[in-house]
Amino acid sequence: KKLTLLREMLAGCGAGTCQVIVTTPMEMLKIQLQDAGRIEAQKKLMAAQAQLSSSPAAAPAAAEPAVERRPTATQITRELLRSKGIAGLYKGLGATLLRDVPFSIVYFPLFANLNKLGQKDPSVKAPFYVSFLSGCVAGSTAAVAVNPCDVIKTRLQSLQRGVNEDTYSGILDCTKKIWQREGPTAFFKGAYCRALVIAPLFGIAQVVYFVGIAEFLLDLLPKRRA
């Protein structure tokens, strides 16, 4: 029985909500690891500028800045659990829901309807290249559509702040400050890169699913006797 567009969107909404519960801690850790390199580079630059601005006589005597090791995912996890508990790993959950639920609402119905265009008969699967292209188009379209939410999510989940960087109290505060200080184009920073990453990701995922690789592998497992 064919689902209506509304039911397809509701199914995508449910899938996106379930996925966020699992992936939010991973997203949180990923952002902290990415920020660690940026903050470290900024500290080194500031130390070098301070050394150059000092007198030439004092420069040779200046001590070398201590080299800080970048934190690992395990260290960040332990620190968050120690200081904020499980809630620390789910910082930015609202913004993540705001990004991933609309993504799934756009992606799944769009993919399903594009993939149907390649089916000669409803009972026959579309060719693998149709599934691949449908996944690429649907994934990149959904990624660009929710990119503003991704920008807000990333800002909220950044625990470390560089010099003169804003702090945010929530989704609305973050949206307001970005709009006022960086302009509306800031909400689409990285949209091109996200589309390039997500397009092949979902294209390959849909090909693997529709070709039936998972079912083939499951059939290789020994079956239990009744």
Domain extents in the chain: 5-22+90-220
CA–CA gap between residue 16 and residue 106 (Å, rounded):
11
How many angstroms from the chain centroid is the CA of residue 95? 11
The ranges of the chain with pLDDT < 70 are: 1, 37-43, 54-70, 159-164, 214, 223-226
Give tens-digit pLDDT for 120-139: 877 788 888 888 999 999 99
How many C-beta atoms lie closer than 10 Å to residue 124's C-beta?
9
Task: Say what the pLDDT of residue 73 is.
Answer: 73
CATH of 5-22+90-220, one of 2.40.50.100, 1.10.150.20, 1.50.40.10, 3.40.50.150: 1.50.40.10
Q: Considering Cα of 128, then 131, then 136, then 137, what sign does the dihedral take?
A: positive
**Quick one: 181 exposed, middle or buried, by C-beta within 10 A (0-12, 13-18, 19+)?**
exposed
Give tens-digit pLDDT for 199-208: 888 888 888 8
CA–CA gap between residue 99 and residue 153 (Å, rounded):
8
Task: Say what the pLDDT of residue 63 is.
Answer: 47
Which residues does 52 contact at the CB level (< 8 Å), separation at least 6? 59
The amino acid at residue 21 is I
206: closest CA among 127, 106, 100?
127
Q: Looking up tokens 């699967």, which residue turns up?
A: 125
Per the CB < 8 A criterion, the answer to whether 157 and 30 are in contact is no
How many C-beta atoms lie closer than 10 Å to residue 177's C-beta?
16
Q: In the chain, where does DSSP find H-type helix?
A: 5-53, 73-84, 86-89, 93-116, 128-145, 147-157, 171-182, 191-211, 213-220
How many angstroms from the chain centroid is the CA of residue 20? 10
Which residues does 66 contact at the CB level (< 8 Å), separation at least 6? none
